[in-house]
Structure 1
Amino acid sequence: MTGNHHTLALALFCVFVLVTLAITTWVGRERRGSPEEFYAGGRLFSPMENGFAIAGDYMSAASFLGVTGLIALYGYDGILYTVGFLVAWLVVLFLVAELVRNCGRFTLADVLVTRLRERPVRIATGASSVTVSVLYLVAQMVGAGGLMTLLLGGTGERARAWTVVGVGVLMVVYITLGGMRAATWIQIVKAVLLLGGTVALTVLVLLRFHGDLSALLTTAAGRSGHGQAFLAPGLKYGGGWTDRLDFVSLGLALVLGTAGLPHILSRFYTVPTARAARRSVVWAIGLIGGFYLMTIVLGFGAAALLGSDAVRAAGPSGNNAVPLLALDLGGGAGSTGGTVLFAVVAAVAFATILAVVAGITLASSASVAHDLYRTLSRRARTPRSEVAVARLAAAGTGAVAIGLGLLAQDLNVAFLVGLAFAVAASANLPVLLYTLFWRRFTTRGAVWSVYGGLVPAVVLVVLSPVVSGGPGAIFPGADFALFPLENPGLVSVPLGFLAGWLGTVTSTEPADAGGHAETEVRSLTGAGAA
């Protein structure tokens, strides 16, 4: 796109940024400065509003850009991401949502300290939550950089770098000005836009093939370069034993990781009751399920209409498949219709990134201020000072995410999110389940569980082919890949559970049966819930 089409695309692209800034400014005028307002939006959202916000928080750049790109490149094996992302919500619905709302206030640590010693637990879970949040943020930064590069006509690394910096600055502005209430309304608006845009693109793809799904799949297989193997398992994960174990590791991380994501857990505190939290999840499952069904059509549509080689040429990770598909469906490059549809999809994708980034940044800053600062600071702590620290933490988190996002620009965003899910499933989920359901669980077990999952997960990622040892790695010129799998979940998730058990059985402190009984009553009945 050149000339007037570039101007039109950029103008449409900027509208959403202005609208979200207006929402943030409007909401920011109503804030009271209390932790409950900043972290939980005053707990005033209805189940439907929170369900849309959860969907907006969860349907990230990994879903809209990354998963669709993986399906366009790898066919059937790309669909495995959609299955993992969706099935994970059954774990959230039946094991987490209602219990967490009854036991906690703002963070994961609030659930644990109902029966465990506060200081070591808050330090451990605060560190793990920040780590997961930063990994998740990197994926969104990578998606934003690739999107802006495509929007500006492939102007290279400089455009990508400035986009990553811009997204980081915007997310800090959103959180520091508006807190959870601003993040929630941005996520609701984004969910509506994303679902509307996805429905429109899906209808256009199906119309191009006259509603014949068989013709769509056949054409996609023919233009993929892999023939019928494109529609069968094994194109990406069917090689040697390493690929097969990577598939199992990825599935384990996706299914279990959602229940340990800090920005998802924090959404259950924005509703007034546990029943509302459960109903929020039901709303979210319906919205997310419909969305992922449509991404399958879009992925195969990109392969059929563009060809896998064209998708790969626009970026080896496939992150640009949806914008390129929109350009083709609207009439192709150089046409007004193609430019308008491309710009709308780019704006929706950017909205997706900003909304998710806002939620993650808020969860990370809450962990820093409410858990780490609250525990480590020797100064007198007031609600106002805690909120001020949270705003500073948002800026620090943004700076770290910008730096890492600049390093990982060539990796698929869905794959990067898979790493964040693996760390969440390894460090956060074991300690949460043990606290809620194991009577003998002790503080030592909790600390060992968090670090026993967090440290191996991070170390294995650093020593994996993702970071070094190949042309697609973060550091392609180095080779210290000692761990053969790209996703650490197969090893780190069991280690998290094992460390929690080992720490408990070797602990000299007696198990607090009364504390477990109190937690159990509170989690099931809501007695004493904030």
Structure 2
Amino acid sequence: MNLLAEEAGGNRALTFGMFLAFIAVTLAVTVWASRHTRSATDFHSGGRQFSGLQNGFAIGGDYMSAASFLGISGMIALYGYDGFLYSIGFLVAWLVALLLVAELLRNSGRFTIADVLSYRMKQRPVRTAAAVSTITVSIFYLLAQMVGAGALIALLLGISPGETFLGMDAETAKIVGIIVVGLLMTVYVSFGGMKGTTWVQIINAGMLMGGAILISLMVMGMYDFNFNSLMGDAARASGEGKSFLEPGQFYGKEVAGDALQTLWNKLDLISLGLALVLGTAGLPHVLIRFYTVPEAKAARKSVNWGIGLIGTFYLMTLIMGFGAAAIVGKNAITEQNEAGNTAAPQLAESVGDYFGGSGLAAIMLAVIAAVAFATILSTVAGLTIASSSSLAHDFYNSVLRKGQASEQEEVRVAKFSALGVGIVAIVLAIFAQSLNVAFLVALAFAIAASANLPTLLLSLFWRRFNTQGAVAGIYGGLISAVSLVIFSPVFSGSEGALVTGIDINWFPLSNPGLVSIPLGLLCAVVGTLMSSERNDRKFAELQVRALTGAGAEKAAEH
């Protein structure tokens, strides 16, 4: 037992050491970036100096969160084919961003999506609505990442019940993990701005791709690079046989003798798919990445690079997921974490042990733990700068100060906003540790798809669109998405619901997108038609700017 305890302590020390090494590197990058962040353009958009390749890696680092790396691998390990549906949805979503949003947004705006939404509208109501939507989406997404960070650190440090590490038990380690992540994301954004955040995301993308490639090659090496053999072993180990490789293990389940519930299950799958595919093009922390490049061509290139990196990574989640199912086994995964979130670290440890014994196993576990921690920090930094930029640029400067604030004043408010967002996120995450992380992420995507994307597209393409339509669309999509979740089985009245003791479950779908996305669009259209306001001249100017880039540099300078 003493030898086992000594080995476990050594593994924890190695993992903890890699955490500290990553933090030291990223803090050094932040200090460097702070010395090159002088103007509002530097803080909000990194001076628009990043190349398409650099921004593509940053997009990958921002988008491929711990939910992707740990969550999807775990879902594939537990549910086979159905787990891969998340990967497909997340990847296809980038085609919407590439074809409809990337270049037009880069040409039309300056720092935030509200720059585009409000271009031909009344500034104050539209920017206020956009800021509310941005903060709401970001907070839900932040909570998911930070709750996951706390649980991940406790699990990956191997703190079992009754044990401690550096004087911390498992529950204390979770809280400390949340606080550390919150403080670090505040430091990255407050001192490094978008430049520091972008370089942190680039470093994370490199670490994530390197870790995924290493595990995938080792898994395939165990099977002589025969993927069919790997899938066969995974199916047998799952206990489900061939059905493990077919749809229906988790989503769209057919319930014998209950045609209505079967219908709801299938509609719920469609609803989730809509939210995933359309939500990406409405996520504020993703959209602001298009402002960090010098021209629209670079914005398109960055999305192409992002798609390549993200697509390659999600293909590797297949190998990691099926590898975990075949090599680690379902029982071992669920014993460690019921949701399967530790499948990738457990797989790394298993393949390390296969090729090099306990020493390599410990190194592999530490590497993957550091990669997972990096993905969380990268994503929360992106969310924090999106929130702080919206609060400072949209709400403080444009609404409260009516556009009269100086650049220095706006940057100062953005830094304080980052601190405020960090404190709120830390406090909420500590109290929200029991919440379902997947639910929080799905809700963030549903709100983005319901409130942000319809109004953004209508602003760019519909001449008649006006202020009342934009405000109605944003609030209508946001309120409908949140409300439908509150009245869904995710919130109450079902096994594993967030709230026990009450049952207000009357909406049958766990994912509101199928209803809330059309409702958001309908609110925007009806709101527009109920107002006589229109500005054809401004719409013509916006079209020229969006399609040609004329005036984009001027917009960035003034």
Distance 1:113 1:423 in 2: 19
Distance 1:473 1:161 in 2: 23
Q: Which amino acid aligns with 2:81?
A: Y
Asked whether the 8 Å contact 1:13–1:344 carries over to 2, the reply is no
Q: Which amino acid aligns with 2:289?
A: R
Alpha-carbon shift at residue 283 of structure 1 (Å): 0.9
**What is the match of residue 464 of structure 1?**
488
Asked whether the 8 Å contact 1:61–1:413 carries over to 2, the reply is no
The superposition leaves residues 169-189 of structure 1 with CA deviations (integer Å, 9 ceiling, x where unpaired) of 110011111000000101111
SS of residue paired to 2:353? coil
**What is the match of residue 343 of structure 1?**
366
Distance 1:14 1:203 in 2: 27
Query: In the alignment, is residue 125 of structure 1 matched against residue 130 of structure 2?
Result: yes
**What is the match of residue 364 of structure 1?**
387
**What is the match of residue 224 of structure 2?**
210
**What is the match of residue 28 of structure 1?**
34
**What is the match of residue 137 of structure 1?**
142
SS of residue paired to 1:116? coil
**What is the match of residue 334 of structure 2?**
312
How many residue pairs match? The answer is: 528
Asked whether the 8 Å contact 1:198–1:291 carries over to 2, the reply is yes
Distance 1:70 1:247 in 2: 15
- Write the mapping of 1:117-266 to structure 2, written as runs, cut at 5 A: 117-155=122-160, 156-239=170-253, 240-266=262-288
The superposition leaves residues 76-100 of structure 1 with CA deviations (integer Å, 9 ceiling, x where unpaired) of 1111101100001111111000000
- Write the mapping of 1:271-310 to structure 2, written as runs, cut at 5 A: 271-310=293-332
Alpha-carbon shift at residue 463 of structure 1 (Å): 2.6
Deviates more, 1:299-308 or 1:152-161: 152-161
Distance 2:491 2:154 in 1: 23
Asked whether the 8 Å contact 2:104–2:546 carries over to 1, the reply is yes
Distance 1:188 1:355 in 2: 9
Asked whether the 8 Å contact 1:58–1:264 carries over to 2, the reply is yes
Query: In the alignment, is residue 383 of structure 1 matched against residue 407 of structure 2?
Result: yes
Structure 2: 5+ residue stretches without partners: 1-6, 161-169, 254-261
Distance 2:222 2:536 in 1: 63
Query: In the alignment, is residue 353 of structure 1 matched against residue 353 of structure 2?
Result: no
Alpha-carbon shift at residue 213 of structure 1 (Å): 1.2
Runs (4+) off by over 4 Å: 410-415
SS of residue paired to 1:330? helix
Query: In the alignment, is residue 522 of structure 1 matched against residue 545 of structure 2?
Result: yes
Alpha-carbon shift at residue 143 of structure 1 (Å): 2.4
Asked whether the 8 Å contact 1:327–1:341 carries over to 2, the reply is yes
Distance 1:319 1:121 in 2: 39
Query: In the alignment, is residue 12 of structure 1 matched against residue 18 of structure 2?
Result: yes
Alpha-carbon shift at residue 414 of structure 1 (Å): 4.8
Asked whether the 8 Å contact 1:319–1:413 carries over to 2, the reply is no
Q: Indicate how the Cα distance of structure 1 residues 474 and 400 shifts in structure 2: closer, same or farther if over 3 A, else same.
A: farther
The superposition leaves residues 406-449 of structure 1 with CA deviations (integer Å, 9 ceiling, x where unpaired) of 35545664553222111100000000000001111111111101
**What is the match of residue 90 of structure 1?**
95
Asked whether the 8 Å contact 2:436–2:498 carries over to 1, the reply is no
Q: Indicate how the Cα distance of structure 1 residues 157 and 242 shifts in structure 2: closer, same or farther if over 3 A, else same.
A: farther
Q: Which amino acid aligns with 2:264?
A: T
Alpha-carbon shift at residue 405 of structure 1 (Å): 2.8
Deviates more, 1:105-114 or 1:134-143: 134-143
Q: Which amino acid aligns with 2:54?
A: E
Q: Which amino acid aligns with 2:382?
A: G
The superposition leaves residues 150-181 of structure 1 with CA deviations (integer Å, 9 ceiling, x where unpaired) of 12213432211221121111100111110000
**What is the match of residue 515 of structure 2?**
491
**What is the match of residue 165 of structure 2?**
none
Deviates more, 1:195-204 or 1:483-492: 483-492
**What is the match of residue 512 of structure 1?**
535
The superposition leaves residues 43-94 of structure 1 with CA deviations (integer Å, 9 ceiling, x where unpaired) of 1111111111111111111110111111111111111101100001111111
Query: In the alignment, is residue 426 of structure 1 matched against residue 432 of structure 2?
Result: no
The TM-score, its normalising length taken from structure 2, stands at 0.91
Distance 1:325 1:408 in 2: 28
Distance 1:497 1:210 in 2: 51
The superposition leaves residues 271-301 of structure 1 with CA deviations (integer Å, 9 ceiling, x where unpaired) of 1111111111111111111111001111111
Distance 1:158 1:60 in 2: 24
Percent identical among aligned pairs is 56
Q: Indicate how the Cα distance of structure 1 residues 234 and 403 shifts in structure 2: closer, same or farther if over 3 A, else same.
A: farther
Q: Indicate how the Cα distance of structure 1 residues 141 and 364 shifts in structure 2: closer, same or farther if over 3 A, else same.
A: same
Alpha-carbon shift at residue 344 of structure 1 (Å): 0.3
**What is the match of residue 101 of structure 1?**
106
Alpha-carbon shift at residue 334 of structure 1 (Å): 8.6
Distance 1:388 1:281 in 2: 31
SS of residue paired to 1:121? helix
Structure 1: 5+ residue stretches without partners: none
**What is the match of residue 352 of structure 2?**
330
**What is the match of residue 503 of structure 1?**
527
